[in-house]
Structure 1
Amino acid sequence: MQTQKLDVHEQPSKDGALAQTAISRLRQLSMKLAMAEVHIEVFDAMQPLENDWRALERDNLQSLHQSYDWCAAWVSAFQRPLAILKGTYAGKAAFILPVEIVRSRGLAVAKFIAADHSNINTGLFSEGFAETGGSIDPRDFAGRLEQALKGRADLLLLQNIPLEWRGRQSPLAGLPMVQNQNHAYQLPFLSSFEETLKQLNAKNRRKKFRVQSKRLEAAGGVQYILPETSEEQHRLLDIFFRLKSARFASLGLPDVFADRETQAFLHRLIDKRDDDRQYFGLQMHVLRLNGGHEERIAAISGISRKGDHIICQFGAIDEELVPDTSPGEFLYWQTISGLHGKGVALFDFGLGDQTYKRSWAPVETAHYDVVLPVSPFGVAAGAAHRIVTRGKAHIKARPKLYKFAQGIRARFG
C-alpha cells in the first residue's frame, strides 16, 4: 500500500475549490434572500423590547455597552428621544440597534445609546445573523436602515465598532464607514497571572512592581480595597469625580464627568449587577494610603463586566500623594492579578492611546464609525464627520503635532 504526504502549502484540488466557491455563493444568496424578509421596526421605548433584548445580550460577544441595564441607566438619566431599530426574521429577533436621537444645531443624529461613554460597540445580533455577517448585502442593509429612520434622524452615526471582535466579523462591517481616530487596548488572560505577564515584558514589570511596593511602604503602606457595600461604592464614585475634575482643570481640559446626568448615569450603573450572569455595570477599585493618610485615595478606577470581558471605564490618581510611585499602575497590578481564576478572558483598557495601556496590553483593536446619511442635511454632516475624524487620526499619529494640538486645546479650551 502506498501513502502520500500532503504538502501543507499545496493548494486544494480544483473540485474542492469549486465546491467551496459554490457553498460560499449559496450562503451569500441565502443571506440576500433572508435580508429581503427581514422586517425593521423603530421603537421609542425600551420596555417592549426587554425580553428579546436580554435574550440577544446573552451572547458573550455582544458588548456590555448595548446591554439592557447599561442602556436603561443612561436613558433614565438623559431622557433623550429613542429610535431603537429592531430587525425580525421568521418571527424572531435578528438584531437590535439601541439608538437615541441627539440634536445639535438643527441636526438630528441617531447614535448608540450612551455613545459618549462607550469603549466598544457591537450592536445586538442573534447568533445566526451575526455568523452570516460577512455575506449580508450591505446596500440592502443600509437602505433598510435609512428608510426606517426617515423623518426621525438626518444621520445614523454608530461609533467605535470593531470590524472583527474575538473572531467574529461585525454584520455592520459593510455599511459606509470611517476609521475612528481612537484604538482600544486589551490584555488577554491566560491560565494564571504569571502566564498572562509573559505576554508583556514580565521581568521589567515585576521589577517596577517591586520598586513601587518599596516606595509605597516607605510612605506608610497602602491597602487595595474592593468595597462590598453599595453605599461605599457610591461614595468612592463621588471621590473619583473630585479627583478627575482636578486633573482636567490642571490640564485645561473640559470635565466630561461634570454634568449631573452623567454622574447620575454612573451612580445607577453601580446598582446594576447579576452575579449569575457575571455582570456588573460599574465596580470601584481603590488604592488607599495607610498611616496619616487613612482617608486619602492614591488611585481609583471603575471597571465593568459582562461574561468573561472586563472593561476599565475610567481611572484617576491624587496628584499630591506619592506621585513618584505611579499608584495608578500599581492599582492595575492588584486588580488584574485579583481577577485571575474568576472566569475572565479579556481585560479591556478601552479607547485612547496612552503609555500605560500599551505597557499592559499586547492587543490593539481598531474601531470604526458607521456614517450613513438619512437626509440631505445628513449628507453634509456625514462628510464633515469623515473629514474631522481623519484629521484627528492624522494628528494623533504624529506625536509632536498631537502634543502641539493638546497645548492649543489646553490654552484656548
Structure 2
Amino acid sequence: MSAAAIDISGTHPGSGSGNDDLQLTEDLEELASEWTQLESAGIGNPYHGFLWCKAFQNTLGTAERSRPLIALLRSAGRPVLLLPLSLFTKNGVRVLTFLGARIGNQNTGLWDKAYYEAVGPEAIRNVLHQLCQKSNADCIDLQNVPCQWTGRPHPLVLGNAQLSPNPLYRGSVTGTFEDVFKTLHSKSARKNLTRKQRHLQDAGGYEIRVCQQPAEIEAGLEAFLEQREARAQITGVPNAFSSPEAKAFLRQATQSPALSVTPDKMSAPLKIWTLSVSTQIRATYMCARDGGTLHAYSNSVAHDEFLKNSPGLVLIREIVEKICADPDTKTLDLGIGEEHYKTSWTRPEPMCDSRYSRTARGKIYSAVQTAKTRLISRIRNSDRLWPMIKNLRRMRASGN
C-alpha cells in the first residue's frame, strides 16, 4: 500500500510551523530513512526501532496477519514523531495498537527531542483523531506507556489513563559498581551473591560473553530457547517464545544479516549475554541498547546441578558491573513485571494505559478494556489470588 498523507494544519507547541503533515503507510521500508534518523538523533526505545519492528512483522506479525500502519508526523518537513502501529478488528471494532506490543516491554514512540519537550495535549489528541479517521479505526489503544518519561509526563498518557497492571523496573547505574551494589543490597545479600559467583568460578570454565559471531549467537539462542522451555515445563508459566514464528523473530532480532539492508548500517537490536561454566551455557540475558539505557529484555537459566548457585542472578550482577564501568550507560531497564531479581537492582515506575475513541463502538471497546485492565490489576496485586494462580500453574505443569 502506498503512503497516505494527512494534512493536520494547525499551530501547536514545538511544531515550528503551522503546517504539519501526518503520513501513514503499511510499508515499513518506505519510511526507513526518516525512521532510523529519529532512532539515532531522537528519543525512544528499542522496541519501536526499525529493525525490531521489521523482525516482528516478518515473523510474528505475518503469522498473526497483523496489518502494520506506521505513522510519521513531520513539522516543517522534519520528522518529529513516529508511531509504529497495527490495525486489527475484534467483534466488528477496528482498533489501532502498538505494533508488536505483546512482545515488547514498553511503548513510547520515537520523538524529536525538542518536539517531545514542548508538545501539548491538544496537539496530541489532534494527531490521534486524525490517525483513527484516516485508518477508519474506531479507537486507538495505547498500553504500557511510561507515566513519566525523560523529564515530563508522557504526551501519550491521556486524561482517561489508568495504571497498567505491571510497572516498569528501572534504576541508575551512574555510580561505581561497589556503590550501586552496596546501596541496593544488604551486607548479607552481597555476601551471598558473591559466594555463589565464587562457587561458579571455582567449577572451572567460567566465562561471561556478549555473543558477536554467528556461531556464538546461535549457541546462545539455542541455550535460551531450551532453558525457557524447561522453565515452562517446571513452573507452568507460558513460554512466549515456543512457537516457530517467535523463534524466527529472535533469530532475526539477534542476527543483522537476516534483516533487510537499511539506509544506515545498524547492528542487531538484541545482543545475547551468556554465563558459561564447564564449557556449557548456564544462563542467558537478551539485551538491547537505546541511548544511555541498557534494556534487559528476556533471560533464561539452566535447571541443572549449578542452579543452586543462581547463575541467572550472577549473570545480572556481571552485567551491572560492566555497565557501571561504561560512562555511556546511565540507566538499567529490566522491563515490566515484578520479579525478585528486578527489585534487587531497580525500582518500579508506573505505566499507564490510555484509549482514544472516535466512534460509539470505540467507546464501548474502551470501556470493556478499561474494566478488564482493572480486574487484571486487582488479581496481580492480590496477596491471595496471584499466588494461587502461580501455584495452579505449577500444579498443572507437574500433572497434579
- Give the TM-score band, short-chain normalised: 0.7 to 0.9
Residue of structure 2 equivalent to 1:350: 335
Aligned length: 378
1:319 counterpart SS class: coil
Q: CA RMSD in A?
A: 2.9
| Equivalent of 2:157 in 168, 173, 176 | 173
Quickly say closer, same or farther: Cα 1:107–1:246, change in 2 above 3 A.
farther
2:233 is equivalent to residue 249 of structure 1? yes
| Equivalent of 2:34 in 48, 52, 59 | 52
8 Å contact from structure 1 (residues 101, 109) kept in 2: yes
Deviations 1:113-134 (A, max 9, x none): 2211111221122223211134
Q: Tell me the CA shift for residue 304 of structure 1.
A: 0.9
Q: Spell out the pairing of 1:238-387 with structure 2 (5 A cutoff).
A: 238-272=222-256, 280-290=268-278, 294-295=279-280, 297-342=281-326, 343-361=328-346, 363-387=347-371
Residue of structure 1 equivalent to 2:97: 111
2:165 counterpart SS class: strand
Residue of structure 2 equivalent to 1:42: 24
Quickly say closer, same or farther: Cα 1:201–1:82, change in 2 above 3 A.
same
Structure 1 unmatched ranges of 5 or more: 1-28
1:61 counterpart SS class: coil
Quickly say closer, same or farther: Cα 1:377–1:258, change in 2 above 3 A.
farther
Q: State the distance in 1 between where 2:383 and 2:94 align.
A: 34
Q: State the distance in 1 between where 2:121 and 2:364 align.
A: 29
8 Å contact from structure 1 (residues 303, 313) kept in 2: yes
Q: Spell out the pairing of 1:222-241 with structure 2 (5 A cutoff).
A: 222-241=206-225
Residue of structure 2 equivalent to 1:25: none
TM-score normalized with structure 1 length: 0.82
Q: Spell out the pairing of 1:4-15 with structure 2 (5 A cutoff).
A: none
Q: State the distance in 1 between where 2:45 and 2:141 align.
A: 17
Residue of structure 1 equivalent to 2:54: 72
Q: Tell me the CA shift for residue 36 of structure 1.
A: 7.1
Larger Rg: 1 or 2?
A: 1
Q: Tell me the CA shift for residue 257 of structure 1.
A: 0.5
Q: State the distance in 2 between where 1:246 and 1:76 align.
A: 27
8 Å contact from structure 2 (residues 205, 277) kept in 1: yes
Q: Tell me the CA shift for residue 60 of structure 1.
A: 5.4
Residue of structure 1 equivalent to 2:126: 140
Residue 91 of structure 1 aligns to which amino acid in structure 2?
G
Quickly say closer, same or farther: Cα 1:252–1:388, change in 2 above 3 A.
same
Quickly say closer, same or farther: Cα 1:148–1:178, change in 2 above 3 A.
farther
1:302 counterpart SS class: strand
TM-score normalized with structure 2 length: 0.85
Residue of structure 2 equivalent to 1:200: 184
Which sits farther off after the overlay, 168-177 or 39-48?
168-177
